A and B are shown apart, each in its own frame.
Chain A
Amino acid sequence: MSGAILPGDQVAGNLTLRPDVCVVGSGPGGAMVASRLARAGLSVVVLEEGGYFTKDAFDMQESTAYPRLYQDRGNRATADLSISVLQGRAVGGGSVVNWTTSFRTPDHVVKHWQQKEGGAIGPKDLTPHFEEIESRLGINQVELDDVNANNRTLYDGCKKLGWQVDTIKRNVRGCLKSGYCGMGCPVGAKQSAALTYLPDAVAAGANLYANCRVQELEVKGDRVVAAIGVILDPLTQQPTGKLVRVEARATVVSGGALNSPALLLRSGLTQGPVGRFTWLHPVVAVSAAYRDRIEGFYGAPQSVASHQFAQRTEGAGFFMEAAPVHPMLSGIALGGFGARLRGNMRGLAHVATTIALMIDGFDESESGGTVTLRPDGGPKLDYPQDERHHETFRAGMKAMARLQLANGALEVDTLHTRSLRITKESDLAQIDSEPLGPNRCAVFTAHQMGGCRMGADPKRSVVDPHLRHHSVHNLWVIDGSVFPTSLGVNPMESIYGVSSWGAAQLLAALKSS
C-alpha cells in the first residue's frame, strides 16, 4: 500500500507511530535508506524538518529560495561568520538545491578510510550501488556544447595552461539549462531525491512527515526508545506544539553533517568524537571580468571541473569549479563596500566566478570543524583556519587568477575584505602578502561531511564500520556525516552510494535480529 508525504498542516494532533524503521532526514542519505527499506517490505516513517515543495513553488528568486530551502533560512555559517554554509533543508534535502554535479567516490579515498579507520567498505563494494544510482538519477556526462560561458572560462583557461580539466556528470533529465538549480529546479529536470528515491519509498508504503523537527532521541540503555519530533508551521517554520513520537525497531539518523551530530548531542549521545572532524571543502573564489557578457546567472551552474591541483605535495589539494553568478550571492561574496561593491555589481553580467575547493581531512595535523549546540539546540559550527588552509587558499586564488588571465579576463578580483585587483602575473604576489584569517576573505562551503565518523575504534569514531552506533545498538547514522574525511569531489553521489551500501547493512542486521 502506498504511503504519503504529509506537510505539517496536515497533522491534526499529537501522533505516536510504531514502524519498523524511523529515518530522520530526507536528503540523499535518508531518501536512499527509506527507499531501500520500504522496498524490502519494512514499514518506514521519515521525519523531515524542511518543507515539501514541488516545481511550481520554485520561483527562481533568491529572496524566496534561500530562506525556504536552506538551513537557518540561508544564514547558516560558522559561529564567527567566517565560513558561509550553503546547506539545503527541504523534503529531498540538499539534492533539491545542489548544482547537480555527480562524481563517484574516488577509490583512493575509500582505501584511505579502510586503512586509517578500519572502514568496511572497499572501493569495489560501492560500484554496483553507483551503477544503480546513476541509472535512477539520470547521471550523464555534460556535452561541451552545453557548457555555459561562465564554466567555459574555467575550461578554456585550463586548456590554455595545459591543466587537467573536463566536463562533469549531472543528475538531470530534460534540463532546460535555465541556471536555477540552487533555487529548486523550476521544471523538475533535476533528479532530486524528492523526485526519485522518496517517491520510490512512498510508493512502497513509507510515510514522510515534512515540517517535523526531531528534537531528540529518547535513549534507554543501549536502545533508542523513540524519536521525538515537533511539528512546525509550514509558513512560519515555528513550532505548532504538536508532537510526533516514533517508536521504531531501528532508528536511522540521516540529518547530514552538522545536523546529525547535533541530534546525537541533543540526545545525550556523546560517545566518541561526535561533532568533531567535520569537513567542509572550504571554498575561496575569484570573480573575473570580461569585455563580453558572460551571463553566469544562466546555464547549468556547474558543468566543468579541474583536478589539476588535487594531489599537491606542498599542502592540501584543491579542485576548481564554477559557481553561478546570481545577484544576492554575488553581493554577499564580493569584497569591499560602497562604490567598489556597486561597481563590481554593475558589471555582474560580465563576470565569471571560479571556485577552489580545499580537500580537507587527509593530513594528520587537521582537526577540521567541530559541532556543538547553540542555545536554541541547533548546530553551532566552529572551523578554525590555520596555515594549511591559508597556503591552500592562496594557491587556489593564484591558480584561478592565472587561468582567468590566460583566458583573456580583463581583471580578476579576489574576495578579500579589501578586494585585490589582479590584471597581470606580477600582481599575483599581492595574494601572498594580503593577510588571511576569519573574515579577512570570503570563505564558503557547499559540501558538509563528517561529524559522526565511521570506524572500528569507538574512541576515534561514532558509528562502527557498518554504520551502527558504537554503543546504541538499534541506532544507525547513514549520511555524509559518517565520512572520515572529505572527498575531493562533490559529495552528493557518494552520500547516495554509501547510504545505499549502509541500507543493505541495516537490512541484514534487522533480518538477523
Chain B
Amino acid sequence: MGRVGSWLKERVPVSPEAIKAAGNEPVAGHLKLWWFALGGTAAMLFFGQIITGLLLCVYYQPTPERAWESVRYITGQVPYGWWIRSLHKWGANLMIVAVSLHLMRVFFSGAYRRPREVNWFIGVTLFLLTLVLGFTGYSIVYEQLSYWGATVAANITESVPVIGKGLARTLRGGEQIGAPTLSRFFILHAAVLPMLLLTLFAGHIALVRLHGVSEFPLKGQPHPAPYPFFPDHLLKELATGLALITVVTCLSVLFPVSVGPPADPINTPEHIKPEWYFYFTFRWLKLSSLGMGILGVTVAVGLLFAWPLIDAAIRRRRPNSELSIAFGAAAVIVFVVFTVWEALS
C-alpha cells in the first residue's frame, strides 16, 4: 500500500491533507438556514437530470417517425422506464422551481450587489438556460401538444424584428417543425445546453468561492458563527439530496408521466398550452399584441439581467432605498397572478 501510495503521489502531486483542508473550509454560519441551500438543491437536481437523461438516451430516437414511439416504448415497455422518465420530468419541474427560488432568494437578500454582479449575470443566464432546457426537452417528446407548442414558439420567434425570421429558420432547420428541428432540439437538449450550463455553473461556483458567500445579517439575531464543511454541511447536503430524490420518486409513483397523442402536423389541437413555467409569458402574449408581447418579454429579461447595475444607480442617489424589494415583490406577484390566471383559463 505504501509503495502504491508513493507511486500515486509522485504522479498526482496533491496531498490528501490539501484536499481535506479544501473540503473543510468553514462554511458561513447563515447557510445553516434551509432557504440558503436552494442553489445546491438546483445543482443536485441537475446532476440527477444528467443521469436520468443519459438513461433515456439509451432508448430515445430523435426522428419524427420514431420519437413519440420511442417515448411510448420507454414509458410502457422498458423496465423502470416510466420511473426514469417520471424522475426526469419531475426533476426538471423541481429544478425550475429551485432555480427560481434561488434567484428570488439572491434578489431579495441583495446578494447580487457589488462585487457579485458578474455572478448575477451568470446566474440569470443559468436560469434562462434551465427554461430553454425545459422547452427543448418537452418538444422532443413529439406529442401533439409539444409539437404545437414548439410550432407556436417558432412562430413567435419569427416575429422578432430583424433577426426573427433567420433565427426561427435556423432553429427549425426549415419552414416547419420536422426532422431537422428534432435533431437540432435533441442536440441542444442533450449536449449543447447541458455543457453550457455545466461550464457556467463551474464559473458560478468559482466566483462564489472567490468572493466568499455573501454575508446576510439577520435582524435581531447575533451573526451565526461559521461551521465546518465536514461533516456538518455535508450531512445537510446529503439530507437535502435524499429528501429531493424521495420527493421526486414519490411524485413519480403518485403522478407518473404519461404520453399524449402523437404529433399530427395536419390537425391543430383546440387548446395549445405550454408547460406551466411559460404560462406567465403565454398569458402576457394573450393580453397584448404580438409585437408588444415580444417587447415586454425582452424588457423583462433585460431588467432581470441589468438589475445589479440599475440598483447600484438607485443606491448611489438614495443609499437606503428599498426600491429593489418593492420592485421584486411586484414582479413576483405579477408572475404568480399571470401563471395562476393562465392555469385556470
Q: Do A and B come from one complex?
A: no
